[in-house]
Amino acid sequence: MFGENLKRVRQKRKFTQKKLAEELGVSRQAICLWESNKRELKASVLKDIAKVLGVKADELMKGDSSKEEKAIDFIWPCPNASEVAVIGDFTGWNRKIPLKRFKDGVWRRKVTLPGPGRYEYKFFVDGEWQIDPHNKATVFNPHGTLNSVKELV
pLDDT per residue, tens digit, the chain (153 aa), is 788 889 888 888 888 999 999 999 999 999 999 988 888 888 888 999 988 888 888 778 876 544 567 889 999 998 899 999 999 988 888 889 999 999 999 999 999 887 778 899 999 999 999 999 999 999 999 899 999 999 887
Which residue, 17, 37, 62, sits at the end of a domain? Answer: 62
What CATH number is given to the structural domain containing 31? 1.10.260.40
101 and 27 within one domain: no
| Residue 109 CB-density burial (10 A; 0-12 exposed, 13-18 middle, 19+ buried) | middle
pTM of the model: 0.58
- 110 vs 40: CA distance, rounded Å: 39
Which residue, 44, 62, 80, sits at the end of a domain? Answer: 62
145 and 74 within one domain: yes
81 and 20 within one domain: no
Overall number of domains in the chain: 2
Which residue, 62, 91, 114, sits at the end of a domain? Answer: 62
- Domain containing 54: what range? 2-62
